[in-house]
Every structure is written in structure tokens, then in C-alpha cells.
Structure 1
Amino acid sequence: MARIHSEKLKELLQVYFIVGSMNCSKQPAEVLAEAIAGGISLFQFREKGTGSLIGAEKLELAYELQSICRENQIPFIVNDDVDLALLLDADGVHIGQEDESIKTVRNRIGDKILGVSAHSLAEAEIAMRYGADYLGLGPVFPTKTKEDAKEAAGFTLIQTLRQTGFNIPIVGIGGINHENSASVFQAGADGVAVISAISAADSVREAARKIRNLVSYK
């Protein structure tokens, strides 16, 4: 597929839902379907951490969730696992600083979407230089969802990139919910990445809808 235009990607990043089986109190497929009904715009499959599935079980879940995304025209991104992304012909990959190198991943996935987590201006600049389509910046707020999460950094990096003139699509991540999403948009992010505020909500659909309704704060 052709490389996605940055303005289109900014739209897709607005309500970016990330989940794996260990983040769900009910069936992941049910959670994803409800989140889509609530208005998410992009989905990332992140099967990683304590209790996560491996092997055939991980592959089966990935296929199931990708099928739901395709039925609803929601791009399906795979966290970290480039081999899985290529096997599924996923829409893209998201990697962190401890994963496979940005340059290598870009070469492997071609024109698919490549997202990179960054925690400093230097990391952001390197990610852009080697082909990142968007940056995941955070943790913006304290979070316990990711076992390897760094200390919350607030809006500083988002604001620095915008003030420096970088126009790359940016999604804020870490501790984000409907109560603080507007402030992330106001800081300069194009979207918010959400895990437990949607997946652990009593009503997944309503939680996603509340965040979708805040996109106007951009």
C-alpha cells in the first residue's frame, strides 16, 4: 500500500485504542467491538506482559481482532512483533526504544504505518530521521497498565516538538482517560492512546464515546 498521508494519520490517531487479553475483564473481541461502536479510530494489538498469550493462542487472538477491525475499516497495528505483523499483513507496527531498530523495522515493513515511542527530543528526532510515521509520547500521566512504564513526563515533550516546528503526527499515551484527554489535545497532540480507561470500564462503548466527544478540543 502507499505510504499514508500525515493528515490522514492525524485523524486516525484521534482515539487510539490499545489492548491485549491481559487488559480485558471479558473477551477481547467483545471489548474491541464495543470500543469500535463507541468511536475509536485506530487499534493496536499489544499482547505483552504478565499473563499474555504466546504461540498459537496469540496468533488466533490476533486474527480474530484483526477481522473485527477489517469489518469496521479500523486500521490494525501490532505492537513490537514485526514477524506477526507481516504474517497477518497488518496495517502497521508500533515499536519502543528497546525493540528492533527503527531503520530495520522500516525496511522490513515497507510502506506500512510505523509508530515509535519516544521519551526525549533526541529519541523523537532519530525516530523521524529513520522513517517513523507517528510518535507515541509519554507517559503523559502516571500509569500502571504497562509494567515497564517510565515516570510520567507531562506535556513537555509534546509542547517542545510543536514549538520547535515539527509537524509529525503525535499521540499522547499513559494514564489518559476522558477526564484528562482534552488537556492532551490542547498541548499539541493529534490523538490520545488509551488502554484501561476503555478496556476496564463498566461500559466500554460509553468510555470510548466520551473520549471521542473530546476530539473537538484539538
Structure 2
Amino acid sequence: MPEGVLRVGLTGGIATGKSYVTRRLDEVGLPTIDADRLAREAVAPGSPGLRAVVNRFGRDILTEGGALDRAKLGSLVFRDATARTDLEALIHPEVRRRIAEWQAGLVKNGYRGPLIADIPLLFETGRAGDFDAVVVVACDPARQKARLIERDGLSDVEAGQRIAAQWPIAEKVRGADYVVRTDGTFEDTDAQVAELVTQLRASADSGR
């Protein structure tokens, strides 16, 4: 990447507040992209990605309308590590390609500064090295589980399975260049995000 561009991978655990932090970064003018959205688009009805997923998991993972039944697929892959690995191998290469294409397009059009890619499985898929800096959004594990249960209507066991499918938050924090903690109020988080923006822009300007 040219001087003045900082590729930032933003990650964390499920229900730790990544989407909120990404939205705040976008609101202050930093370009952002959401790997989860790209993954959904990669398996849209009629897509090669959806055909590949059906070939691997069968038509039972489709709704009556022919779309991917994400809840049904999720209940399968979060209790079967092999199935989860197979699904990731089908979807992640396309997501990776589209993020690189997005970055290159902005740079070609003259953008200089931080570029934020929200990638939930950044560490798990070995992609931290693709970025110049890594931001981890973290909170206490008990709070994380409670948020997940409330947000998605999961049982305690189901929430535990989804959390266990990712690296522990503490391990992600150890691999971070910057950490935003979301245990407190929105105001607390916003203050951390404001400081993060200052640091990321300074790092981009300095070429580090």
C-alpha cells in the first residue's frame, strides 16, 4: 500500500460491540467494510457461493424460498468444528478478495488514511498479517454471553457454543495493537473511539 494508507483489521468476540465501534468510525469519516455483510452477499440466492454451500451441506439448509437458512446452518456449524471449517473454506476466500478489491479501489481514487475492515474471525483465519494494525473490541466474557443471549434469543448452551467457536477475548487482546473496551457506557466507548481515531490517523500520517 502507498505511504499514508493504514490497513486496519477490527475484530473482537461475538456480541462485544464490534458493529457499534465500526459504525462510530464510519460516522467520523473513516472508510469501513463489514466482512459479515460480504459473507452474506457471497451466499445470496443464485450465487456460486450458495451452490457450493448446498453441495456441502445439502438442501435442508435452505428456506422454502431458496435462500440460506442462517439459523439452521448456524446450529449445525457451531456444534461441529469440521462443518464450520468447511463453511469457512467456501466463503472466506471471496470475502478476502472483496476486501482487497475495496482497499485497492479507495487507494486508486486517492484516499490516504486508515481503512477499517470489520472481520470477526481475523485471528481465527490467520488474517492478522494482512493488516498494518489490529483493533480488538472487548468486554468481560460474562457480559458478552449475556448480550448474546439477549440479542439473538439463544439458550445459555447455544450462546456458549458460539463463543467457544472463536478465540477467547483475552487471547485476541494480546494480539491487538489497540483495544476498545465496551464494558461501560456508550459514552465511555465513544471516548475510546475518539482517541483511537486520533491514534490511527497519526499512525497513517507517519507511515507506521
Give the TM-score taking structure 2 as reference length: 0.33
Give the TM-score taking structure 1 as reference length: 0.32
Query: Which structure dedicates a bigger proportion of its chain to helix?
Result: 2
Larger Rg: 2
